[in-house]
Amino acid sequence: MLRFCIVVVAVMFFVTGCQTNSPKPGKDISFSTSPKPTIESLIENLENSLNDEIMVVAHRGDWRNAPENSLQAIQNCIDMGVDMVEIDIRETRDGHLVLMHDETIDRTTKASGPVKDWTLDSLRTLKLVDGLGVETEHRIPTLEEALLLAKDNILINLDKSYSIFDKCYDLMKKTGTLDQVIIKGAKTRQEVEQEFGKYLDEVYFMPIVRLPHPDAQKTVDDYLENRLPVAFEFTVKYDTIGFIDYFDDIREKGAGVWVNSLWARHNGGHDDEKAALDPSVYDWFIDHQVDMIQTDRPKLLLDYLRSKNLHL
């Protein structure tokens, strides 16, 4: 009966998802048949650390099919049925927040120099390059544009954002996306409460814990007891680290467990490149109670999780 309900709900999501989608950026038809969850179900799933659904987080958006950190890269994630898109935020010379991974614009545009030396207007004249280094029609988006595109469509994780927490908060509030965004930082509870405590009741904050770390247990337990976070992001240098056995307890206590499949030092060698050769590499995450995976291969991971009934 439960299985039947899930199927019915899935079909409903699928149907409503198809009807309500009218994106501004172009639509990659390759993704148009993917089931789309509602934002309510995404938020519910984010807050529920106990269900079997594994969340897929796309690193810098769908950078294979559109420039990284572009609106199109976010739109592709929405169309694919990705749960959350990770984007990188930097501040321009005149105080605007834009999407850019590197400190400079050298790698992702044909121009050069640090973002903080450029004004928003001048950045807007630039075109983002594709994977071959060729200019596309896509431009550097502002955080505000990205939040408006994501609103009611997909969850967002802001990277490089901790030091500009308050500016991000203002834009989240302005765009009505406070309940859709995770901000993160490698900080203890005391540190984050001291620095940004006034926002913590309104914003999802995810502590980053780099394993192995002598204080990992203490840091995590302190959060679990005194300020339950929506999830912890763990980098797992070796898959022999004992702390991995604690992941199921963390989920029992109400926090999600996020591990990156990006490259080997995040996951003890169970990374996306190996998964491209054999997707069962992702079983390591499933078997170790990870319920949020940040990936450079969202399509591959979604297909695999769907085949195991671990994703809508």
Residues in contact with another protein by CB under 8 A are 26-30, 60, 63-65, 67-68, 107-108, 129-134, 136-137, 262-263, 273, 276, 296
> What minimum distance in Å lies between the beta carbon of 127 and another protein?
12
Amino acid at 165: F
Which bin fits 22, alpha (ψ -120 to 50), beta or left (φ > 0)?
beta
Q: What is d(CA 143, CA 296) in angstroms, rounded to the nearest whole number? A: 21
Q: Rounded to an integer, what distance in angstroms lies between the CA atom of residue 177 and that of residue 148?
A: 8
C-beta closer to another protein: residue 1 or 132: 132
Instruction: Give the nearer residue to another protein in terms of CB position, either 53 or 88.
Output: 88
As a whole number of Å, the CA-based R_g of the chain is: 19
Cβ nearer to another protein, comparing 63 with 199 = 63
Please give the backbone phi and psi of residue 155, each rounded to the nearest 5 degrees, phi first: -80, 160
Q: Is the dihedral of CA 195, 201, 205, 210 positive or negative?
A: positive
**DSSP state letters, 176-192:** T-GGGEEEEES--HHHH
Our CB check for another protein shows the closer of 133 and 214 to be 133
Beta carbon of residue 181, minimum distance to another protein (angstroms, whole number)? 23
Nearest of 290, 288, 311, 287 to residue 301 by alpha carbon: 311
Identified catalytic residue from 96, 101, 266, 311: 101
Orientation of helix 165-175 relative to helix 143-150, angle to 10°: 40
Q: Are 135 and 129 in contact (CB under 8 A)?
A: yes
Note if 59 is an active site residue.
yes
Q: Is 101 a catalytic residue?
A: yes
Distance CA 72, CA 54 (A): 24
Q: How far is the CB of 17 from another protein (least distance, A)?
A: 20
Q: Which is nearer to another protein, 69 or 177 (CB)?
A: 69
Residue 98: CB minimum distance to another protein, A: 17
Minimum distance from residue 62 beta carbon to another protein (Å): 9
- Quote the crossing angle between the two packed helices 298-307 and 71-80, to the nearest 10°: 10
Q: Whose Cβ is closer to another protein: residue 32's or residue 307's?
A: 32
Residue 129 Cβ vs another protein, minimum distance, rounded to whole Å: 7
Q: Which residues are catalytic?
A: 59, 101
